Chain A
Amino acid sequence: NAGVTQTPKFRVLKTGQSMTLLCAQDMNHEYMYWYRQDPGMGLRLIHYSVGEGTTAKGEVPDGYNVSRLKKQNFLLGLESAAPSQTSVYFCASSYSSGDYNEQFFGPGTRLTVL
């Protein structure tokens, strides 16, 4: 099993450009998440999904959109990138919520917006 994979690993954008980050998991997990990691801030939840076709906002959703058309994939889109979106983005998945909410993380995407 590959677990959680993310593409691309690195990307540099200019302000105003758009891009999509892809997250894929092969563990048949229902729940998927997008976080951003910034120095001194820990990880903050952007959006999440509790199942195919559903999405919900997290703590810092502004400037991002997501889609979950297939159970194994969770896409994060930036329609018009801004320098404030320079960050490391992590995708995660879990079998369920509740007490046993172990999340499995991908290796991350390092995004720089100039």
Chain B
Amino acid sequence: GDSVTQMEGPVTLSEEACLTINCTYTATGYPSLFWYVQYPGEGLQLLLKATKADDKGSNKGFEATYRKETTSFHLEKGSVQVSDSAVYFCALSDLVQGADGLTFGKGTHLIIQP
């Protein structure tokens, strides 16, 4: 079945550091890929998405590019802020599997220190 693998946390960085959170996937069909963010005590919010190979999703200074050849969708940001501290989930949607839900990675806890 489908699966998403992302780097385990916590990841601790200083403010203004560069961020990369790795995400790789396996899927039966041609999935759409997503990054969701969960702030403490809240539900998940969509951060960005990409629906086909070579698409780049971007939002709030974060970017991720859909790389079909490496089955990856790494999340990047050039300069992180304390307010970026949260848990980040990589996810895919693959209708070939027959279910309409998202398949999530285990989440990466990001901690930004001032």
Q: Which residues of A contact B46 (CB under 8 A)?
A: 102-104
With A41-B106, A97-B93, A98-B95 as given contacts, are A31 and B43 in contact (CB-CB < 8 Å)? no
B residues less than 8 Å from A107 (CB atoms): 41-43
A94 to B101, CA, bound (A): 10
Closest to A6 in B: B43
In the complex, how many angstroms separate the beta carbon of B10 from the nearest chain A beta carbon?
12
The total of Cβ contacts below 8 Å across the A-B interface reads 67
A residues within 8 A CB of B106? 40-42
Q: Chain A's nearest CB lies how many Å from the CB of B98?
A: 9
**Interface bin, chain B:** 20 to 34
A92 to B99, CA, bound (A): 15
Q: Which residue of A lies closest to B46 (CB)?
A: A102
Asked if A101 contacts B42 (CB within 8 A), the reply is no
Contact stretch, chosen from A12-20, A43-51, A62-70, A72-80: A43-51
Residues of B within 8 A of A102 (CB): 34, 46, 49
Find out whether the CB atom of B89 lies under 8 angstroms from the CB atom of A43: yes
Chain B, 79-114, CB within 8 A of any chain A CB = 89, 93, 95, 99-107
Which residues of B sit under 8 angstroms from A99, Cβ to Cβ?
A: 32, 51-52, 93
Q: How far is the CA of A44 from the CA of B105 in the complex (A)?
A: 9
Contact of A31 among B44, B45, B100 (CB under 8 A): B100
- In the assembled complex, the Cα of A31 lies from the Cα of B46 at a distance in Å of 16
Assembled-state Cα–Cα distance A99/B34 (Å)? 11
Q: Knowing A43-B89, A99-B32, A107-B42 touch, does A56 contact B105 (C-beta < 8 A)?
A: no
The answer, among B43, B44, B102, for a CB contact under 8 Å with A101, is B102
Return chain B residues, CB-CB under 8 Å to A105.
36, 43-45
Complex interface: chain B residues within 8 A of A59 (CB): 99, 101
Bound Cα distance from A33 to B102, whole angstroms: 9
Partner of B95, one of A33, A40, A97, A104: A97
A residues touching B (Cβ–Cβ < 8 Å)? 4, 31, 33, 35, 40-45, 48, 50, 56, 58-59, 90, 92, 94, 97-108
